[in-house]
Amino acid sequence: MDLGNCRRLVVKLGTRLVAGSHEGVNTELLDDLGRQAARLLARRKQLIIVTSGAVHLGRRVLKRPQRREALAFRQAAASIGQPELMRHYSQAFQAHGVVVAQMLLTMGDIAERERYLHTRETFESLLRHNVVPIVNENDSVSEPSVTFGENDKLAAVIAAKVQADLLVFLLDEAGLYTSNPAEDPSAALIRAIEPTDVDFLKYAAGSGGPESMGGMATKCIAARIAVECGIPVAMIDGREPGALLRRLEGEELGTLFRPARRRSSRKSWLASATAPGGAITVDDGARRALLAPGGRSLLPSGVTGVEGAFAAGVVLAIRDSTGQEIARGLTNFASAEIERVAGAQTHEVAGILGRDTAPEVIHRDNLVLSPLLSTEAPPTGEPDARA
């Protein structure tokens, strides 16, 4: 897949890469990234960076490098480390003539439509002015119940919201392997994940190490969110000088997640449509069918409940039997109609409603997996770093 034409890029760096084995921050790496940023901007590309590292830097200042700690300590560490992190980015990028801007976001800034629209305008304005927004979660004020927690999903959500052409995860390894290469000598690098590879989460066992919240599992889940919105995802070795440019120029580096479909502005809009006009609850079979990559439409047989009074054509939240939102989509039926067809088989729908109609409650083309849902647990279960 030719990535050379991708214009708007979201690039995510994790703590292990930013800090590297260096004391504090890997300044060589940031210098290399600044150099690449300058080249990209000169080619009229737009770059948004999502970076971790604030908590790690703050912990160092407080001389408490442990991971398991009170949330308040983590939040305090983030507020100490964030300006330090920005200082390093700012210095590294300025050396190459690139201006950076800090964007600290909470989930609320993205989930609430009005706030999100303002946030998006800020991104658009910065990009128009050839500035590179440097994004992190605003950990020091994020409420624990609604935090992204790790930046992988934040990066995917931003890519969807700004309708990026490509999401890149810069890793401290070569890409996604068939198993953990640190433990299994037969682990092989996976070059591409096709939209039909429904099982790719199985490759992503393990957490990201003591410094970071994410791991390959959270990256794979994030990749799936982006792919669902039609955005290709490249996972490449960020320690390789010039890796980002080289990948865009066609060098076969790392793992590419190919999207199922072309980027659709409707899907991206759905991903950012944040005030659903009602909700439907689905059974476990429908949940599985919806969450499978390249998954199915929502049929009446899987619907177990309806909330709210709504007309056809509004955005609905789709909840599983535990009440967790798993997707959003445009309904073909009004709430009263869904109540009548809930549980019915596809061939019965037209008869029940007394009119000729497509049987799907929500067609797959009008459905996005909720980018804000915490998705399925990673296969091996990661430790809860906030415990």
Give the footprint of ligand GLU on this chain (CB under 6 A).
15, 52-56, 78, 136-137, 139, 150-151, 212-214
Q: Which is nearer to ligand GLU, 6 or 13 (CB)?
A: 13
Give whichever of 53 and 175 is closer to ligand GLU, judged by the CB atom: 53
Yes or no: say if 274 and 112 are a contact pair by the CB < 8 Å rule: yes
**Angstrom distance (rounded) from CA 127 to CA 141:** 26
Q: How far is the CB of 217 from ligand GLU (least distance, A)?
A: 12
Of 52 and 297, the one with the shorter C-beta distance to ligand GLU is 52
CA distances from 164 to 63, 71, 191 (A): 38, 32, 22
| 303 closest CA partner among 352, 345, 354 | 345
Decide whether 3 or 80 has the Cβ nearer to ligand GLU. 80
Task: Report in angstroms how near the CB of residue 52 gets to ligand GLU at its nearest.
Answer: 3
Chain centre distance of CA 238: 18
Integer Cα distance of 35 and 47 in angstroms: 13
- Single out the residue of 282, 289, 287, 319 nearest to residue 198, CA to CA: 289
Which H helix or E strand runs over 325? strand 325-330
Sheet strands (E) in 129-288? 132-137, 166-171, 192-193, 233-237, 255-257, 278-282
CB of residue 348 to ligand GLU, shortest distance in Å: 47
**Of 100 and 330, which CB lies nearer to ligand GLU in the complex structure?**
100
Minimum distance from CB of 242 to ligand GLU (Å)?
A: 24
For ligand GLU, the closer CB: 52 or 366: 52
Minimum distance between the CB of residue 14 and ligand GLU, rounded to whole angstroms?
6
Contact between 153 and 222 under an 8 Å Cβ cutoff? The reply is yes
